[in-house]
Amino acid sequence: MSITHATELRLTARPDTDLREDHFELARTEIAPPADGEFLVRNDWMLLSVVMRELMEAEPHPDLPMSAYELGRPPWAPAVGTVVASRSSLFSAGDLVQHVYGFRDHVLAAEGDESFTKLDPTLLPRPEYHLNQGATAWRGMVTLAEAGPGDTVFVSGATTGVGAVAGQIARCRGAKRVIGSTGSKEKIGYLVDDLGFDAAFDYHDGPVAARLAELAPDGIDVFFDNVAGEQFEAAMALAAPNARFVLCGSLSGRNPALDLEPAVLRDVTIRGFTTPYDNDPAWIEHYSRWLREGRFVFPHTVVEGGLAAVPGALVGQMNGRHRGTTLVRL
Amino acid sequence: MSITHATELRLTARPDTDLREDHFELARTEIAPPADGEFLVRNDWMLLSVVMRELMEAEPHPDLPMSAYELGRPPWAPAVGTVVASRSSLFSAGDLVQHVYGFRDHVLAAEGDESFTKLDPTLLPRPEYHLNQGATAWRGMVTLAEAGPGDTVFVSGATTGVGAVAGQIARCRGAKRVIGSTGSKEKIGYLVDDLGFDAAFDYHDGPVAARLAELAPDGIDVFFDNVAGEQFEAAMALAAPNARFVLCGSLSGRNPALDLEPAVLRDVTIRGFTTPYDNDPAWIEHYSRWLREGRFVFPHTVVEGGLAAVPGALVGQMNGRHRGTTLVRL
């Protein structure tokens, strides 16, 4: 097999405030044929997430487990691809694999690289369904909050990749009522009609506390928070006894007047958690089954146009223009 | 046995802002001899707690499980007494009992009244040691926060009845370092010299965040909060990965700028809990053993002078003049 011509997308400048498309540039590279123990992967899909914006900073938040993206190189990103040539005994041509070498259309891998996982192509309806953020949603909604029958569940930021899965997990586990908040009127229909939420509201439509009190007359048992600020405050005021609040992802900054007194008087548990990219077998098992049973929608937005479309898609994601997980078809 | 002359302390007016001694009056009453199934208790000790101030309101906080104190009657309060006459088969003269009929020197009880518990007089060094607030401290420090070896533990409001027990529980369970905050310089010595805290500080001495950062160089694994506000904020900024925060009792109101982002990025669990007066057998077992082994001090302030001294003691407690649990010798 001869030299492969490949394309990668490099971060060339750190955004000072807003991210722009010209913070990236496409570059053409060459990849040598696999040597012994190596295999070549053609990337088919990559995932974009909001944490990537933070990793473009020279000094990302010190508590993040990932280091800053390097300038002049393609950043890491979750991706799914197909092995197209192999001199490894572990991976064969045709294998479907998941890894973290997005931002490029091909990658030459060594079989000792533990970031490559072989996928079972029969488990999910399509290869890109593996690039979901469900393990994070599962951790918050099931492992930590233990949402189940009888619970009134509120998900803020419910049209994000994590939020849209979290709400559906609660529904599939028999929650009494699942409520979502989002940032536009048209996304309300998406949550209720497409994803099966019982109710949804646009947080721009007046005080969140009043809107939420109408929609959750029995109080809130489980709150899956992607947003913080006013929505956290409103949920806390409505917390039911023994409520479980889970705080996911980065927050919208300081709360102007956060009152934790209800947490004391109503025995509320609040758990912050970070978002690992590892998959939880329990999540995959339920995801696969719920999809087969037609009870679950993989909430995602497909961006067409390959690597050239990635900078614009990152900007679109930061501006809330996508529904669910953002996936780029490479 | 003839009529017993008894004294009770009645709440006669609801304080509008500050509690004053003239919100109470002493009254003389008569108690008939026990009928079949009844027994007469002479109260020896009663406990005063800060929640009593809230119960003097016409409409206490709706989340509190107790109802408002009635005007013209003696309020409820935990008490320990001795049975002095009995026509019950369950309680005999000489028995040590605990109940909730404080604010009076004698009480005639029916054997079906489940608020009376017979105490084992050999378990603790003195009868009044049963009136501790340790079950609350145990719930927060052990059941919820699971404090143990290797943990840096911070207790705010550490000279309160609950706080002073909570810090000692952490020490007895092998915490690496126990730090307490209090509101005066002389109480620092009480925490370190008398109760065995590793370090303590007066929260009036400059910014809490800076003081705490000096005293907890490895971050905070367990925070037992009786105070909220600036101290919660400072502890959260120093939270170690997988830290456990427990919020006990009523809080000092809204936090001016509470940042829960560290809770997300460091997987912090925050649990609010209310304070039951029921005793936990696990707590009593450890309390009894640690006292016998000389490793534990029952932190309390004894108020002499009987019922007449109670109004002044309530005022003193609200003003932070006591150390540990406030007990009145009747």
- Give the tens place of pLDDT for each residue, A74-113: 999 999 999 999 999 999 999 999 999 999 999 999 999 9
Neighbour-count burial for A91-101, b at 16+ CB within 10 Å, e otherwise? beeebbbbbbb
What percentage of chain B has pLDDT greater than the value 70?
95
At B256, is the pLDDT very low, low, confident or very high (cuts 50, 70, 90)?
Answer: low
Is the ipTM higher than 0.90? The answer is: no
Whether pLDDT at B5 is above 70: yes
- Listed by number, the residues of chain A in 91-110 with a beta carbon closer than 8 Å to a beta carbon of chain B are none
Q: Which residue of A has its CA nearest to B65?
A: A265
Range with lowest mean pLDDT among A271-280, A314-323, B280-289: A271-280
Does B276 contact A at CB distance below 8 Å?
A: no
Region B159-182 average pLDDT: 97
> In the CATH hierarchy, which fold is given to the domain comprising A134-273?
Rossmann fold (3.40.50)
Closest Cβ–Cβ partner in A254, A269, A272 for B267:
A272
Q: Which residues from A are below 8 Å from B260, CB to CB? A: 228, 232, 247, 251, 255, 258, 270, 272
Give the CA-trace dihedral at A140, A142, A147, A148, to 10 degrees: 160
* A249 burial type by CB count under 10 A (0-12 exposed, 13-18 middle, 19+ buried): buried
A257, pLDDT greater than 80: no
- Chain-chain contact of A228 with B270 (C-beta, under 8 angstroms): no
3-state secondary structure at position B71: coil
Q: Mark yes or no for CB contact B63/A265 under 8 Å.
A: yes
Q: Which residues pair with A79 in a beta bridge?
A: A46, A99
What residue spans of A76-140 are helical by DSSP H? 134-138
pLDDT at residue B31 is higher than 80: yes
Q: Is the pLDDT of residue A254 over 60?
A: no
Q: Looking at residues B78-92, what average pLDDT do you find?
A: 97
Whether B251 and A261 lie within 8 Å, measured CB to CB: yes
pLDDT at A15: 92
Whether B6 shows a pLDDT value over 70: the answer reads yes
Percent of chain A past pLDDT 90, that is, above it, reads: 78
Reported confidence tier of residue B207, pLDDT bands at 50, 70, 90: very high
Return the pLDDT at A250.
Answer: 52
What is the CB neighbour count within 10 angstroms for residue A328? 29
Residue of B nearest to A264 (CA): B272
Chain B CA closest to residue A237 = B63
pLDDT of residue B262: 78
Distance from the A247 Cα atom to the nearest Cα atom in chain B, whole angstroms:
6
Residue type, A156: S
Where do the DSSP E strands lie in B87-137?
Answer: 96-99, 106-110, 117-118
Please tell me if the domain spanning A4-132+299-329 has the same topology as the one spanning A134-273: no
Find which of A50, A64, A231, A265 to mutate to test the B interface (most B CBs within 10 Å of its CB): A265
Contact B272 A251 (CB under 8 A): no
**Per-residue model confidence (pLDDT) at position B43:** 98
pLDDT at residue B166 in the model: 97
Mean pLDDT, residues A164-193: 96
Which of A143, A225, A270 to substitute to test the interface with B, most B CBs within 10 Å?
Answer: A270
CA A10 to each of CA A14, A42, A68, A311, B149: distance values in angstroms, whole numbers, following the listed order: 11, 18, 14, 10, 47
- Does any CB of chain A come closer than 8 Å to the CB of residue B51? no
* Domains of chain B, residue spans: 4-132+300-329, 134-273
B268 interface with A at CB cutoff 8 Å: yes
Are A299 and A325 a contacting pair, CB within 8 Å?
Answer: yes
List CB contacts (< 8 A) between A262 and chain B: 63, 272
Cα dihedral B318/B320/B323/B327 (nearest 10): -20
The residue of A261, A266, A274, A275 whose CB has the most chain B CBs within 10 angstroms, and thus the best one to mutate to test that interface, is A261
* A-to-B residue pairs, Cβ atoms closer than 8 angstroms: 110
- Rounded CA-CA distance B314/B69 in Å is 15
Question: Does A247 contact B at CB distance below 8 Å?
Answer: yes
pLDDT in tens, A108-135: 999 999 999 999 999 999 999 999 999 9
Residues B154-183, mean pLDDT to the nearest whole number: 96
- At residue B61, the pLDDT reads 80
Give A4's pLDDT tier (boundaries 50, 70, 90): confident
Q: How far is B58 from chain A (nearest CA, A)?
A: 19
Average pLDDT for A42-55: 93
**Do B259 and A263 lie within an 8 Å CB cutoff?**
no
pLDDT of residue A2: 74
pLDDT band at B328 (very low <50, low <70, confident <90, very high): very high
Whether B273 and A254 lie within 8 Å, measured CB to CB: no
Are B102 and B78 contacting, i.e. CB atoms less than 8 angstroms apart? yes
Q: What is the pLDDT of residue A325?
A: 95
Q: In this prediction, what percent of chain B has a pLDDT beyond 90?
A: 78
pLDDT attached to residue A251? 47
- Give the closest-approach CA distance of B244 to chain A in angstroms: 9
pLDDT digits over B192-202, tens only?
Answer: 999 999 999 99
Average pLDDT of chain A, as a whole number:
92
A262 part of contact set with chain B, CB < 8 Å:
yes
Which tokens is A281 given?
A: 């077998």
Residue recorded with tokens 């023994």 = A242
Residue B18, CA distances (Å) to A130, B14, B21, B251, B315 in order: 62, 10, 10, 18, 9
Mean pLDDT of B57-64: 84
Whether residue B63 and residue A232 make contact (CB cut-off 8 A), yes or no, is no
CATH number of B4-132+300-329: 3.90.180.10
Instruction: Give the model's confidence band at B278: pLDDT under 50 very low, under 70 low, under 90 confident, else very high.
Output: low
* The CATH number fitting domain A4-132+299-329, selected from 3.90.180.10, 3.20.20.450, 3.30.50.10, 3.30.420.40: 3.90.180.10
